[in-house]
Structure 1
Amino acid sequence: MIDKQKKYCNSLTAYSRFKTREVFVGKVPLGGNNPIRIQSMTTTNTMDTIATVEQTIRMVDAGCEYVRITAPSINEAKNLENIKNELRKRGYEVPLIADIHFTPNAAEIAAQIVEKIRINPGNYADKKKFNQLEYTDEEYNAELKRIREKFTPLVKICKEHGAAMRIGTNHGSLSDRVMNRYGDTPLGMVESALEFVRICEELDYHNIVLSMKASNTQVMVQAYRLLVNRMINEGMNYPLHLGVTEAGGGEDGRIKSALGIGTLLEDGLGDTVRVSLTEDPEYEVPVAISLVSRYENRKGQNSIMAIDENPVDPFTYFKRNSFELHGSGGSNHPIVTADLSSYKNISYDDLKDIGYTYNTVTDKWSVSDIAADFIFTGNNHLSFP
C-alpha cells in the first residue's frame, strides 16, 4: 500500500487509470469509465462565425471530441450562440467550451449557451498587480469571501443550464494573493484551484474538471500529482484535463507534449487531453490521439514487482547525490551520451547524426549545439581520427 501522504496514482509499477467521477459535457461524458477524450482550441476570431465554424469542423473531422473557443468579452460570448447554431445546422453536435479570462460577465453569458466553461482561478476574480503584500489570515479569508461572492453567480448558472466547468490553473498567471502565500510553486497552483472547487462544493455543484498547466513540464507533472494527492486526502475525484502550455511547434512541440502529458498518462492520470502547438489546431489532434492510443491496451503489458514505498518525494524536485566522474555527476549538469557500441563500422555519417560533422577539405570537425557530450563506442575501432 502506497503511503497516503505520497499517493497520486493506483500503483507505481502497474498501469491502471485513476478512477474519477463522470462529468457530462453535453452528450459526451468524460471521466469514470469513459475513454480519454481528445480536444483542441480554435485560433480564429470568435466574432468571425463562419471561419470559426469551418475550423471547428476541420478539428472534429480530425478526431476532436470537444472544441474550445475563446470568449474574452461579452460580444464574443454572445456570438457563441451563432457559432453553435451554424454547427448544428451543418450536422455537427460537438460540445463547445468557452475559454474565459478576466471577465465573469462573459462567462455568465457563455454558460447559458455552450456545454462547458473554462475559467482561470488566477484571474477570474483577482487581478495581477504585482503588489508585494503580506496577507494576514483574516485578510486572506476576506479575499476568499470576495471571490465567493463574485464566483457564485457563474456556478448557479452552470447548475441551472447543466454546463460543466473546468477550473484550470496556469503556472504563469497565479494571483498576487496566492503568490504571496504559496509562491510560484506547484502548491500555489493546486491551492488556487481548490479554493474555487470548495466554493463549488459548498453550492452542491460537482460538474467540474481540473487542470494544472505549465510550459515547464517538470512543474506541470509535480502540480498534477500534488493535486491528485490532495484530492485523495480530501475525498475528491474530479476528472483531469492534461496539457502543456505553449509547447511550441514541429518536432520540439510534439516531444515536449509527449514528455509532460505522457508522464501523467503513464501514472494513470488524465481524462481529456489537449496538445497545444503553434500550428493549426487540426494538426494538434493526431498528436493527442497518438499519445492516448498507447493506453487502449496498456493493461496487457507484462507486470513487474510492486513498489509500495516511493523512495522520492514526487511533488518536489531534488537532484540525486552522486560522485563526480569525467565531468558528469556531482554538481554538473546532466550529460548526453550517444551509444554507438552496436555499430560494426562507425562512419562519418553516423557521427553526423549525433552532431559531429567532418569537413574533408579543411580537415576539421564542427560540433552542433545539440551534439552528444560523449560517444560510447564499446570495443569498436574507429578507422579515422
Structure 2
Amino acid sequence: MNPADELLTGKVNFCDSLTQYKRRKTREVYVGDVPMGGDNPIRVQSMTTVDTMDTQGSVEQVLRMVESGCEYVRITAPSIKEAENLREIKSELSKRGCFVPLVADIHFTPNAAELAATIVEKVRVNPGNYADKKRFEEIEYTDETYNAELHRIREKFTPLVEICKEYGTAMRIGTNHGSLSDRIMSRYGDTPLGMVESALEFIRICEELEYFDIVISMKSSNPQVMVQAYRLLVQKLDEEGLQPYPLHLGVTEAGEAEDGRIKSALGIGVLLEDGLGDTVRVSLTEAPEVEAPVGQILVDRLVGRQGHAPIANCDFSVYHPYEYQKRQTDEVINFGGGNVPRVIADFSDIESVEMKDLKAIGHFYLPELDKWTMNDLGCDYIYTGTRPIPFMLPNGLKEILDYNTWLTVNSDANKYPLITVNEIDKPIDSKCIFIQLSTTKLTPSVIEKIRQMTNAVLILKTNNQHAYADLRQSFVGLVNAGVSIPVVIERSFPYLNADAMMMYPATDIGGLLIDGFGDGALLSMAQVKGDRSERLAKAKLYNSTVFGILQAARTRITKTEYISCPSCGRTLFDLQETTAMIRKRTDHLKGVKIGIMGCIVNGPGEMADADYGYVGSGKGKITLYKGKEVMKRGVPSARALDELIELIKEDGKWTEPQAVL
C-alpha cells in the first residue's frame, strides 16, 4: 500500500467522542515541577525573542512572560554557546525567585541539545533537521536504503535520549510541516502523514530505549494541515500501541493582530474542542508576553464544557477528518455548488440604515460620483429582519428579510425571505428561500421537507455549549439523509471581548470549513448591546472576522496572507516593524502569500507554501525566495522590500494599490 493511502484506512478514533466533550487522557510528563498531561490543566506557554546571549534581557523578558501567564518558557539555543548561557539565565531567574521550567529550542545542532538537556527542564528537537539536511531533493529509496537511514538517525539521536533519561529532562518532538526532511518528503510527500511519520521515527527510538517523557507537536502555518496531522498522529499512536503522549498545540508562523488570532484559534481551538491538547502556544508576531493571555482565551472556553447539553450520535462513516472533502451541494443563486462561501452581515438590529452605514460591511457610496464601490471585504448579503433598507442597494449586494416583511417588498428581485421551521410549509414564490433553524429542530420530518426543496438555503445555528461538535453532527446527519441544499453557519457571541470575538467563531465556523462543511457564514447581532455607533462598529468587526476565518480556512481568499514567525533569539531583524513595513506596501495583493522569517532556521522550510519569502540571512542582510527557490542572497535590508516587490512584478502578480476607502 502507498503510505499516503493509509490516510483513508482505519476507523475514526482520534478522539474519545465526536459528540460529547471529553479530554483525551494522556501520559503525565513532568517538565521540572510543572507536569502536563494526565489530569493536569492545559498549560500555556510562549518563547522569548531576546538574543539568548543577552542574559539580563532574557531574564527580564521571562519575568514579564511569567507574569502574563506563561507556565513554560522556551528559549532558542542554536549553538553550544547559547546552550551554555541557559545556565546563566536559569541562575539569574532563580535569584529573582522565578523557577518557571525552561525549554531549549534546538534546530540542526545535536551537541547543543545534549548540553541543554543537562541544564534546562525540557528540550525541543525538530525531526526534520535534527539528523537530516534539507536540500529540496527527491531521493529514491529502497526499503533497505531507507532502513539504513533510520539506523543512522538512531545513532545520532540516542545520545540525547540517554542524557534526558539521566537528568530527568523532558523532550518535545516537534514536527513542522515546512521542515520535513527530503527523506520523508520523498517517501510520504508533503502530507500530514509525512509529518506524523517524521515524529514516529523518533518516538519509536525513545520507546525502544525506555524513555517516555515525551511531548509531541505537529505544527503548520496552514491550520487545515495542522489539524489533520494531529488527528492522524493520535490515531497512529493508538494503532501502533505507543504511549498516549501529551500534545503541544500551535499554528506556526500565524502572524499578527486579527489574522494571527483567527488562524491560531482555528487550528488550536478545533483540536481542543475534541479533547486534544495538553499545552498551547499561540505564535504571534507580537511581544511574547501578549501570547499567553491569547492562548488562555482558548483554554478558558473549555471550563465547564463537560456539562454541555447532549448531542445525538449518528453514523460518522461519511466524515473525513484526515483529508479535505467538501460536502457536495446544489447551487442556489450563488450559494453552494462550486461557489466560495458567502458572507451575510446582520443589520437587523440597526435602525434607519443610511448609505454611509454600509461602509462597515465593505460597501461604499461615493456621493460626488453617485455610485457604489466596494473593497475586498464587501459582504454578499445583508440580513435586515423587519427593517427593509430604504434605498437602492449597491449592485451585487442582496437583502434577506423576515418572511412577513418580505411580503411587503417582494417585487424587488434582490430581496429574499427568511422563514422559520413553523413557516416551512407555506407556498412561497421566490428564487431563493432562507430557512433559519436550530440544530435541535432538525428532526427527521423537517429534514425530509428540506431535502425536497430546490430553492432553499439553510441557515443553521446552535445554542449548545459544545457548538462545533453539535454543528458537525448536524452536517453529517444532512449528508446521511441525502440533503444537498447549501448551508450557512450562524453563530452568536454577545458578551465577548475583541480577541475572543475573533477566536470563538474562528474555532466553530473555521473548524467546520476545514472539515468541508459550510457554504456561508453569519455572525448574529441579535444580542449585541450598545448605541447605534457601537453596533455599527461591532458589525464591522464581525464582517472582517468572517472574511478572516474564510481566509484562514483557505476557502475564500480576499487578501494578502502573511506567514510571519513570532520572533526568537535567532531573529536577525525587528519582525514586528518589518512585518508592518511589508504589509503597508503589499496588503492589496489579493491571494498572494508572503513569508517573513527572522532567520534561516525559519526560512524556506517553515514558510512552507508561501509564494515569496523574506528571510534574515545575516545582520542587515536578507535572502529573497520565490517559493522554495532562492532568488537573491545577501540583499541589504534597506532595499530588500523594493527587490521583493520587483520579484512580484516580474511574475505578473503585482497590481497598483487603489485609494483607501
Please say whether Structure 1 and Structure 2 have the same fold, judged by a TM-score greater than 0.5: yes
Aligned counterpart for 1:6 among listed residues 7, 12, 27: 12
Match for residue 239 of structure 1?
A: 246
Q: 1:110 aligns with which of 87, 108, 116?
A: 116
**Secondary structure of residue in 1 paired with 2:201:** helix
Following superposition, the deviation at residue 350 of structure 1 comes to 4.1
Q: CA deviation at 1:329?
A: 2.0
Whole-Å separation in 1 of the counterparts to 2:270 and 2:82: 36
2:361 partner SS: coil
What residue number does 1:46 align with?
Answer: 52
- 2:138 equivalent to 1:129: no
When the two structures are superposed, what TM-score results if normalisation uses the length of structure 1? 0.96
- SS at 2:342's partner residue? coil
Matched, 1:362 2:362: no
Partner secondary structure for residue 88 of structure 1: helix
Q: Tell me the secondary structure at the aligned position of residue 34 of structure 1.
A: coil
**What do you get for the CA RMSD once the two structures are aligned?**
1.5
**Secondary structure at 1:122's aligned position in 2?**
helix
Report the CA distance between 1:344 and its aligned residue: 5.3
Q: Are 2:161 and 1:149 equivalent residues in the alignment? A: no
Counterparts of 1:306 and 1:40, CA distance in 2: 37
Q: Is the 8 A contact 2:138 2:185 kept in 1?
A: no
2:198 pairs with 1:192: yes
Q: Shift of residue 366 of structure 1? A: 2.2
Q: Confirm or deny: 8 A CA contact 1:12 1:307 kept in the other structure.
A: no
The AA in structure 1 aligned to 2:201 is: E
Q: 2:74 aligns with which of 37, 56, 68?
A: 68
Residues in 1 aligned to 2:182 and 2:381: alpha-carbon distance in whole angstroms: 45
For residues 327 and 70 of structure 2, the distance between their equivalents in structure 1, rounded to whole angstroms, comes to: 41
Equivalent pair of 1:111/1:154 in contact (CA under 8 Å): yes
Q: What is the Cα deviation at residue 179 of structure 1?
A: 0.2
Q: Distance in 1 between matches of 2:280 and 2:200?
A: 21
Q: Structure 1 residue 38: deviation in Å?
A: 0.7
User: Aligned in 2, Cα 1:350/1:300: closer, same or farther, shift over 3 Å?
Assistant: farther
Deviation at 1:121, TM superposition (A): 0.3
Secondary structure at 2:319's aligned position in 1? coil
Higher relative contact order (CA 8 A, sep 6+): 1
Please state if 1:333 is matched with 2:333.
no
Paired with 2:89 and 2:248, the residues of 1 have a C-alpha distance of 24
The aligned amino acid for 2:319 is: V
CA deviation after TM superposition for structure 1 residue 335, in Å: 2.4
Do the aligned partners of 1:341 and 1:376 also contact (CA within 8 Å) in 2?
yes
Kindly indicate whether residue 278 of structure 2 is the aligned counterpart of residue 271 of structure 1.
yes
Q: 1:309 aligns with which of 307, 310, 316?
A: 316
Residue 290 of structure 2 is matched in structure 1 by 283
- Runs of 4+ residues over 6 Å off in structure 1: none
Give TM-score scaled by structure 2 length: 0.57
- 1:327 positional shift: 2.9
Equivalent position SS for 1:284 = helix
Q: Is the 8 A contact 1:12 1:308 kept in 2?
A: no
1:374 aligns with 2:363: no
Among candidates 96, 105, 111, match of residue 90 of structure 1? 96
CA drift at 1:131: 1.6
More strand by share: 2
**Structure 1 residues 32-80: Cα deviation after superposition (integer angstroms, max 9, x where no partner):** 0000001000000000000001000000011110000000011100100
In 1: Cα distance, 2:385 partner to 2:77 partner: 58
Counterpart for residue 176 of structure 1: 182
Q: Which residue in 1 is equivalent to 2:219?
A: 213
Q: Whole-Å Cα distance in 1 between the matches of residues 372 and 51 of structure 2?
A: 50
> Percent of counterpart pairs with the same letter?
66
Q: Distance in 1 between matches of 2:271 and 2:171?
A: 21
**Range moving further from structure 2, 53-62 or 299-308:** 299-308
| Aligned-pair CA distance for 1:301 | 1.9
Give unmatched runs, 5+ long, in structure 2.
Answer: 1-8, 393-661
Task: Identify unmatched segments of 5+ residues in structure 1.
Answer: none
Separation in 2 of the partners of 1:343 and 1:378?
10
Contact kept in structure 2, 1:53 and 1:83, CA below 8 Å: yes
For 1:307 and 1:62, the matched residues in 2 are separated by: 42
Q: Contact 1:17 / 1:269 at 8 angstroms: preserved in 2?
A: yes
**1:175 CA displacement:** 0.2
Cα separation, 2, equivalents of 1:348 and 1:141? 68
- Note the alpha carbon deviations across 1:210-262, whole angstroms, 9 max, x for none: 00000000000000011111112222300000001011111221111111111
Are residue 255 (structure 1) and residue 262 (structure 2) matched? yes
> Which residue identity does 2:205 align to in structure 1?
I
- For these two proteins, the number of residue pairs brought into alignment is 383
Cα distance between partner residues in 1 of 2:374 and 2:218: 38
CA drift of 1:4 comes to 6.3
